[in-house]
Structure 1
Amino acid sequence: MKARKYRNKNSVSKKTKLSQAVQQVLLGMALSSSAYALQAQELNENDSAEKDDIEVIAVSGSYVKSLEKAVDIKRSNISFSDSIVATDIADFPEQNLAEALQRMPGVTIERNKGLGSRVNVRSLPTEFTHVSINGLATASGSGGRDVEFDIFASEIIQSVTVKKSPTAADEEGGIAGSVLISTARPFDYDETQLVASVEAAHNSISEEVDPKFSFLASDTFGDWGALVSFSRSERTNRTDSNSGIDFRPLSRWTEKSGDSQWQSDQTIAVLERDTGVVIDDPLDSDETGRAVFMNKVGDRAYLNEQEKWGATASIQYKPSNDFSLTLDAMLGGYDNTEDEYDAAAYSASSVSALERIHEYDDTTFSEYGMVVLSDVSYAATQHEFLSKENVHETDFSQLSLSLDWQLGEWTVTGLMGYSGAEKTSDRTNLKHTAYAPSRTRYTSTGGETIPSDNPDTIDMYNSPGSYLFDFYDVDLEEITDDKYAAQFDFSRGIFWDAFPALAKVQFGARYTDKSKERNLGNVQVKGPTAGDSSWSGERTLEDSELTLISDLVPGGAYLPEVEGKGGWSQVSNGYARNEFRYDGFNVPFQDNQFYRVDEEVLSIYAMADFEFNIGQFPVSLNTGVRAVDTSVLSFGYHQVQMPDGSTGYTDEPVSKKGSYTEVLPSLNMVVELSDSVLLRAAASETFIRPALGDIAYKRTVSVNEFKYFDGNPDLKPTYADQWELGVEWYLDNGGILAASYFDKTVEGVVRESLTGVVKDVTKYNDNGTLDGVYDFDVYQKVNDEGSYDVSGIELIAQFPLKALHSSLEGFGINSNYTKLDNSLTGSSDLGIPTPPPGLAETTYNFTAYYENNSFDARVSYNYKDDYVERIERSMYPVYRDAYGQVDVSLGYKINDSIKVVVEGINVTDEATKGYTMDPKFPTMYEFSGRRISLGIRGSI
């Protein structure tokens, strides 16, 4: 099945990002510099001059050699860091760059339906990590500052270094760390390189086979060199999930009044009758928020189809070791189409109430005064059949021109470049509903809805005539994310008799210009033509073409846990697109949904390197300071109160400025306790900027939560004072044993806070009937007061086992472990203590390998402790359960040019699980299957 694409070409004219980038680069050619050179400045010059060439993808590449090269980079860096190089990236069974990074010390990933998507460093939230490619902060179209790593193909990446202690010359330090990605260049190689690989992968649930192809070609011609690489892959993955289950407070009904007063009265009466719990004030959210029920239960089948390509090109002029001029380009595209078929029971129906409580739990959360209604019959559940199609198209490009020039005693480097992404999302939802009494309860893996004792109940899975057409809803969103950067850097060695410890001085300046723009449009189809609503209340589910769920997604029957329900039939997204998008269908962007944020940053920095002895121990020390001035301009259409009491939007965009200036010091030090043992220390102040979407001057609404959400241009960064102390033992056989302790004091954490109230907002039900008039709370992201402490240990063990006994030649292990202790808490309106979203206390990776001249084998286990995924309704922490996954890789070299590879991802077919506050109350039980691939790689 091919991914279906839709783009509203008439809605807005698109800018040609690449042409803009070329213009910017040409204008700033004289100022350009090398991202590689900036990283190389932190390496020991003698070591870097003698370093081996790093092999990319080539079958002659060795996993053991790639580990040794990574150890060399770690040892040479003045900062705390870890690296992986191309052989490691290319040879493991990875689906994207995020999954390639998960094997690094302190690095874990967030998974979405079996696919790694975002990166966490030392278990801190993903937005605490700064990411760059070839020295440029990377745009990915997410709208935030976090990078969607699933858009990048790992095959076109040369090396990745994760820096955990910054220097003053870094663009941003990142509270968790910085991920520095590098692509290949022609002078990385001694000779001509031509490498290619093909692969076919099979998913155990969808039973589809997906192709992948990649190649690299590189050569040098005297003073010139040229390199190109390309990768293209497809992925078809099916996920079955019993999910969407969360807590809903009884305020859903207790706040009803007027004609709906019966819902409040009946709910309060049933609660007291069946549990003994008495609601004194139906309008007190702190009281009603502590009596919760199951909001919604869904049986969901997902089909995810991806097409991804990436390419790099590098033209390098290097007439001598003293001068290098390089043009680097990176382009790519990521098209992702996801079909979701959802049979759900919305217990919190706007016209419902409690009818009978069969079971409840008032002990698990008794310390918070909470009671969980775990098995309940409801008066009028809203049963839903939802056919959703989400089409995302992301195009990214990056272009930079760089210079590395040894001018006498001075080294001159700099950087001029562009990074941009454009993401278009076409999201649809076909909704049919049936209102009827039913019973919803927790199960061991999630929840289920069954007929109740009420005579008007229905079998929700087999009553298509009871479901009325609600709407076919289409959202079209476009996000553009652009960044331009230029940097000067000057350094020279110092030989000063009056101050012999001073070895080097370095200073420079960097300017960046970043912008994010969002357009959004919505059309709701309720009839055969625009503006026609004749299908509402008339058309039923039976009037559309229905298909069994086992036929809607490849691979056959649904989860065994729900086989007793006999499956169900639903409308396919292909049919919905053809049936409900009438002639002339168009989704225009809405003015009041537009916003844009522009950010300009000027940084200047100065550093000095010192070399001296403490007793008999040689010491290398780098210290510096960076001054950062930031200005923000945010504008959009803001919601206002109209003269008649209703709410509307301003006629023209409203803008607001924000700014902040900071001075950030840093220190990194290495003490050589012996030829093989290093004591490393670091201290710095660093920050991470707020997400651009959070500082956008806008207002959005969540009708079901009775909330407005405002952007806040006055947001400041989140800061951290951090230090780290570690010892590293470098073994003669290329291995390493290391341990470090780190501590971060974090302040200014961005949280969502109640900042106002909008009175008398009229709310309507999905069927157009009046729900009621309510006061809507206004929430806004703010910088929290106070500071929080995050500390932890990190252990690394990487060594060949032949050090233990000669019979273990070729065997080895590569492992790491990170443990956190933190006082940082998430934000719950009920005062429930919880870690911030994304923070897992324990993570570890373990890889065992064997390698000889013709055969290699690796098995890896990655584990991430449970962590908070979100805080539902700003009240209840929802956790992603602890997860461990086994991956394997086997390779056999037929000859010096050809290698056959068999790889497996999630070979034990682990399920992804989640829960609200306690595992007794699961929110998700999800299978994405195992993935087995067969590939062949060749080189000339």
Structure 2
Amino acid sequence: MRHQKQKLNYLSMLVMLNLGTIASVSAEEATETKEIEKITVTGIQASLIKSMDIKRSSDGVVDAIAAEDIGKFPDQNVAESLQRVTGVAIDREGGEGQLVSVRGLGPEFNSVLVNGRTIATISGGRAFSFDTLASELINGAEVHKTQTAKLQEGSIGATINVTTHRPLSLKEFKVAGSVKGTYDDMSGETNPTFSGFISNTFLDNTVGVLGSISISDRDSRFDYGQTAGYITNHSLNLDDGTTHENIFLPRNYDQIVQTEQRERTTANLTLQYQPTEDILLTADMLHSKYDVSYRQDILAHWFDGANITDATLDENRTVVKLDSARNSATDYLNRLSSRPTTTKAFGLNLEWTLDDRWSINADISASEAESLNGGRTTDTVAGFVNAYSFDNSTGASVPQLSFTEDLDPTRVSSNWASKFGNDINDEVNEVKIDVEYIIDQGVFGKINFGSAYSDRTLATTYSETNWRVSEAHGGYPAGMVFPEGMFTKFDSDGFLSGANADTANEWLIFDSYEFMDYLLTDNAINASNDPQYTRDVIAQYNGYSAHEDASAFEVNEEVKSIYADLHMSGDIGTMPWNVVAGLRYVETTTTSSGSTIELLDLVETNTVDEYQPVETDDWVPISISHSYDNLLPSLNANLEITEDLVARFAYSKSITRATLSEMSPTTSYGGGKLDSLQASGGNPMLDPYESSNIDLGLEWYFDENSYAAIAYFSKDVDNFIDGGVTKETVDLASGSYNYTVSRPMNLNDAKIDGYEIAVQHSLTYLPAPFDGLGFIANMTIVDSESSADTVDNPLPLPGLGDSQNLILFYEQDDYQFRIAYNNRNEFMQSTTNWAGGAPIYVEDYAQVDISGSYDINENVSLFIEGINITNEITRKRGLYKNHVLAIIETGPRYSVGIRANF
């Protein structure tokens, strides 16, 4: 896309020319560089020491996690480990950590790098999906909460750099591996995971080769009780003549049992060559294949206001009880989905020490992520006319729905059948040159400067069955009746039992593909309401095949940047100080390309003052470009008040760019009265979020692996993107018309501030065997205010919420044990739900995980792991506490395995 290969070749040539220029200036002054001793990390204590040393020696505010040993990361997932870091919270999918928020800013506001490089992601936006990356391949991760000019722009939350192992750092032959079985309590299935690692050096440690692989398979089950949101400003006319206006009505209530299979294979290969002590070449290759497939068997009841005969409202005008007795239905749904994904990455890095003052680091990388779900998700519905009652008035943990339970398949008829889904493709190409010059004059220590270029293309394509085919056999009670054997009785085996739910436990289930195959047979077509119409639309649209939506689009983003960081140090009396002052300049050009149905004119209808649009018959190509530049200063300062006490101050400006979904180039224009013409679309002209950041911190390192820290942070964010309305003039053949257009816009500003408190302490002074005890405790308190707030609706920013962590560990001789408690307080996940209008809140969620190991000898150990051992339930709500949106039970998981390291 956009000649990326030619750009990379050209930039690679520039890299080599720059290298040659600097080498010619300084080669004759080259001297030997002393080899830095590498610390081998083993065990909990050593891991904590390494993480603490990274924090203490960093120029800015940085927190880190480190592997306890090769192939031994603290959790089953990198995101699960990152949530232990102060200020970090995670979003889970299927009970597994996937996306990371930092200091209350959601995943799209944080940059994730692997070995300093941007990696393409399958999220469909900028948020990195950690579930594609196996934790066994990771060496560590650093969370940079403040900016330096050298640090890649794009984050107003934090920049997270995940690192993998390097063979020449290990300096010897190493082989490690683990095998474990994981039991999923909800599904009752046990699945294996294997990870292996081998590294060696050759030719007097000048050549290093490292290869690793991780293979996992997980069968799981999740239970969902959900509404699809609450309809706002609704009205009801009840049988007793009562009329209720401006009420909140739940859209539906569904019971969903989802069985899921996740298969992940991740492999990494690293090659290193160091012909001299001054030159190091490193090549990295990463390949991840991650396939997720699921089946949903659903018992569903849709709340149609016209069918409701009686209702009870609370003080907030929310319907908490209802009876639906007229032409209502019990629906049985089956959804099948598969999402094969592939992530590939390649990088080449050169570290060159030219002499005792000059050094250079040049890096070129490319990555691609692809998720193929287009047309791979089914939505099939069958059911029968029924009456039901919904009760959410008692304060029970799960609403109760009563209905006439009839498991007779001969009563069931067809309603809907469809295939749909998104294909996502993300390609990233980067080139970076970083130069360091040692000044060593007075307070001036060194200067870092360099440049970077990246070219990224994000594309998404939606596919779906044509609606005419989907509804051809539909409608109760006159829909298609199916042959014997299509439906079977399903026992949910205690639906939402962890939430003490009083729900139906049996309903009818079927298979989507068998369902659709039968609807294409002559018997089914001839039994439809209009056989000839049904036959014609099936032929025209190739049955239930999913067709690509012509409104698909892609966004290309080209970024050029230069930077400089000046490092200074000195003393105030007996107190050493360090300052890094930097400036980064970045130019961004975006091009949004796609197709649109073009508006040609408006013509008057037979209704007075009513106009209808005249549009092109075919989709017309459209491409819109936008450019902007940003100057981003930064200042990081620390003062060593005493040998153990460090004070920090940081100031910076940072940006986060808009997401793909907001930058669609298409706009849809409607008709109607000339004084109320409406349109909606994306906005390729969006500017980035801009934030001014201040950090203050105090860190006390009172023992070898113990510290206490407190920090204050403040972020003033401008250009906050929200749904906006603007007046736009459209010039057409018959004249100019004024439209009210809804699209994402840079509308608001926001202020975020908060505190972080952290303590890490090993109780080594206790008498044996208690001297192996220790703990980590941290908490984040965060608040916000926005120009979008109103007195009646002071909404927090999405993702913003307090969090707390407490980790107790024990390490003595051959034994290790850890128990981790993580709590994330209620936060707003989205400003609108599926039914529109009201927000989605995720209520307080606390999870407890455990892990332990026993070393059989210095090379082999047995281990256990437990995830969510208290079976915490995820709950989502709307505007009010009783606006139940979802109750989700994923259950605990337990693992037992053996790990070897030679």
TM range (shorter): 0.7 to 0.9
CA, structure 1 residues 505+460, in 2 after alignment: closer, same or farther (shift >3 Å)?
same
Determine what percentage of the aligned residue pairs are the same residue: 26
* Superposed counterparts of 1:889-908, under 5 Å: 889-908=851-870
CA, structure 1 residues 848+91, in 2 after alignment: closer, same or farther (shift >3 Å)?
farther
Aligned equivalents of 1:593, 1:77: Cα separation in 2? 47
| CA-CA distance at 1:319 after TM superposition | 2.7
CA offsets 1:697-735 (integer angstroms, 9 cap, x no match):
135899xxx997521101111111111111111133321
1:619 partnered with 2:542? no
CA, structure 1 residues 398+523, in 2 after alignment: closer, same or farther (shift >3 Å)?
same
Who is 1:448 aligned against?
Answer: 400
1:725 partnered with 2:691? no
Among candidates 794, 801, 814, match of residue 763 of structure 2: 801
Q: SS at 2:242's partner residue?
A: helix
* Superposed counterparts of 1:451-530, under 5 Å: 451=403, 459=404, 462=407, 464-496=409-441, 500-524=442-466
Among candidates 381, 384, 391, match of residue 431 of structure 1: 381
Among candidates 811, 828, 834, match of residue 795 of structure 2: 834
Q: In the alignment, residue 863 of structure 2 is paired with which amino acid?
A: V
Compare 170-179 and 818-827 and name the one that shifted more. 818-827
| CA-CA distance at 1:484 after TM superposition | 0.5
Aligned equivalents of 2:222, 2:788: Cα separation in 1? 30
Q: In the alignment, residue 680 of structure 1 is paired with which amino acid?
A: R
Aligned equivalents of 1:884, 1:324: Cα separation in 2? 46
Aligned equivalents of 2:694, 2:508: Cα separation in 1? 58
| CA-CA distance at 1:578 after TM superposition | 5.9
CA, structure 1 residues 546+833, in 2 after alignment: closer, same or farther (shift >3 Å)?
same
Q: In the alignment, residue 615 of structure 1 is paired with which amino acid?
A: G
Among candidates 197, 211, 215, match of residue 228 of structure 1: 211
Compare 584-593 and 215-224 and name the one that shifted more. 584-593
Q: In the alignment, residue 910 of structure 1 is paired with which amino acid?
A: E
| CA-CA distance at 1:816 after TM superposition | 1.4
CA, structure 1 residues 86+707, in 2 after alignment: closer, same or farther (shift >3 Å)?
farther
The 8 Å contact of residues 198 and 936 in structure 1, kept in 2 or not, is answered as yes
Who is 1:772 aligned against?
Answer: none
Among candidates 43, 52, 63, match of residue 82 of structure 1: 63
Among candidates 537, 540, 548, match of residue 489 of structure 2: 548
| CA-CA distance at 1:66 after TM superposition | 0.7
Among candidates 239, 250, 255, match of residue 299 of structure 1: 255
Q: In the alignment, residue 446 of structure 1 is paired with which amino acid?
A: V
| CA-CA distance at 1:190 after TM superposition | 2.8
Q: SS at 2:703's partner residue?
A: coil
Q: SS at 1:752's partner residue?
A: strand
CA offsets 1:126-170 (integer angstroms, 9 cap, x no match):
211111112222211211111111111111111110000010011
CA offsets 1:345-382 (integer angstroms, 9 cap, x no match):
11036xx254222x2112xx4xxxxx111112234435
Aligned equivalents of 1:932, 1:620: Cα separation in 2? 47
The 8 Å contact of residues 599 and 669 in structure 2, kept in 1 or not, is answered as no
Who is 1:603 aligned against?
Answer: 561
Who is 1:273 aligned against?
Answer: 242
Higher strand share: 2
Aligned equivalents of 1:439, 1:777: Cα separation in 2? 41
Q: In the alignment, residue 547 of structure 1 is paired with which amino acid?
A: T
Among candidates 66, 75, 79, match of residue 94 of structure 1: 75
| CA-CA distance at 1:586 after TM superposition | 7.5
1:175 partnered with 2:156? yes
* Superposed counterparts of 1:211-360, under 5 Å: 211-221=192-202, 222=204, 223-251=206-234, 267-268=236-237, 273=242, 279=245, 288=246, 291-348=247-304, 352-357=306-311, 359-360=312-313
CA, structure 1 residues 746+192, in 2 after alignment: closer, same or farther (shift >3 Å)?
same
1:52 partnered with 2:35? no
1:862 partnered with 2:822? yes
The 8 Å contact of residues 521 and 587 in structure 1, kept in 2 or not, is answered as no
CA, structure 1 residues 476+239, in 2 after alignment: closer, same or farther (shift >3 Å)?
closer
Q: In the alignment, residue 417 of structure 2 is paired with which amino acid?
A: Y
Among candidates 365, 374, 377, match of residue 320 of structure 2: 374
1:741 partnered with 2:680? no
Q: SS at 1:146's partner residue?
A: coil
1:677 partnered with 2:630? no
Compare 808-817 and 916-925 and name the one that shifted more. 916-925
Q: SS at 2:440's partner residue?
A: coil
Q: SS at 1:657's partner residue?
A: strand
CA, structure 1 residues 303+881, in 2 after alignment: closer, same or farther (shift >3 Å)?
same
Who is 2:123 aligned against?
Answer: 142
Who is 2:724 aligned against?
Answer: 753
Tell me how large the CA RMSD over aligned residues is.
3.4
Aligned equivalents of 1:468, 1:131: Cα separation in 2? 49
Aligned equivalents of 1:32, 1:403: Cα separation in 2? 12
| CA-CA distance at 1:449 after TM superposition | 3.1
Who is 1:769 aligned against?
Answer: none
Q: In the alignment, residue 248 of structure 2 is paired with which amino acid?
A: V
1:637 partnered with 2:595? yes
Aligned equivalents of 1:331, 1:727: Cα separation in 2? 41
Q: SS at 1:675's partner residue?
A: coil
Aligned equivalents of 2:800, 2:152: Cα separation in 1? 25
Aligned equivalents of 1:24, 1:233: Cα separation in 2? 40
1:935 partnered with 2:874? no
| CA-CA distance at 1:589 after TM superposition | 4.4
Aligned equivalents of 1:209, 1:580: Cα separation in 2? 37
The 8 Å contact of residues 71 and 177 in structure 2, kept in 1 or not, is answered as no
CA, structure 1 residues 31+199, in 2 after alignment: closer, same or farther (shift >3 Å)?
farther
Aligned equivalents of 1:562, 1:679: Cα separation in 2? 52
Q: SS at 1:809's partner residue?
A: helix
Compare 486-495 and 872-881 and name the one that shifted more. 872-881
Q: SS at 2:839's partner residue?
A: strand
Could you tell me which runs of 5 or more consecutive residues in structure 2 were left unpaired when the two chains were aligned: 20-31, 522-538, 604-611, 671-676, 731-738
| CA-CA distance at 1:616 after TM superposition | 2.3
1:384 partnered with 2:312? no
1:658 partnered with 2:626? yes
Aligned equivalents of 2:52, 2:89: Cα separation in 1? 20
Compare 63-72 and 559-568 and name the one that shifted more. 559-568
Who is 2:681 aligned against?
Answer: 710
Aligned equivalents of 1:585, 1:845: Cα separation in 2? 53
Who is 1:261 aligned against?
Answer: none
| CA-CA distance at 1:306 after TM superposition | 0.2
CA, structure 1 residues 99+495, in 2 after alignment: closer, same or farther (shift >3 Å)?
closer
CA, structure 1 residues 715+31, in 2 after alignment: closer, same or farther (shift >3 Å)?
farther
Among candidates 40, 47, 52, match of residue 66 of structure 1: 47
Aligned equivalents of 1:28, 1:218: Cα separation in 2? 33
Among candidates 813, 832, 849, match of residue 853 of structure 1: 813
Q: In the alignment, residue 779 of structure 1 is paired with which amino acid?
A: S
Aligned equivalents of 1:581, 1:139: Cα separation in 2? 40
Q: In the alignment, residue 368 of structure 2 is paired with which amino acid?
A: G
| CA-CA distance at 1:534 after TM superposition | 5.4
Who is 2:606 aligned against?
Answer: none
CA, structure 1 residues 391+93, in 2 after alignment: closer, same or farther (shift >3 Å)?
farther
Aligned equivalents of 1:21, 1:580: Cα separation in 2? 51
The 8 Å contact of residues 826 and 836 in structure 1, kept in 2 or not, is answered as no
Who is 1:770 aligned against?
Answer: none
The 8 Å contact of residues 593 and 624 in structure 2, kept in 1 or not, is answered as yes
- How many positions carry a matched residue from both structures? 834
Could you tell me which runs of 5 or more consecutive residues in structure 1 were left unpaired when the two chains were aligned: 1-14, 34-45, 56-60, 255-266, 280-287, 366-370, 452-458, 760-775
The 8 Å contact of residues 401 and 503 in structure 2, kept in 1 or not, is answered as no
CA offsets 1:485-531 (integer angstroms, 9 cap, x no match):
111111111133xxx1111112111111010122222125887xxx9
Compare 135-144 and 532-541 and name the one that shifted more. 532-541
Aligned equivalents of 1:881, 1:874: Cα separation in 2? 20
CA offsets 1:843-871 (integer angstroms, 9 cap, x no match):
01111111122111111101100111222
CA, structure 1 residues 618+757, in 2 after alignment: closer, same or farther (shift >3 Å)?
closer
CA, structure 1 residues 931+89, in 2 after alignment: closer, same or farther (shift >3 Å)?
farther
| CA-CA distance at 1:913 after TM superposition | 1.3
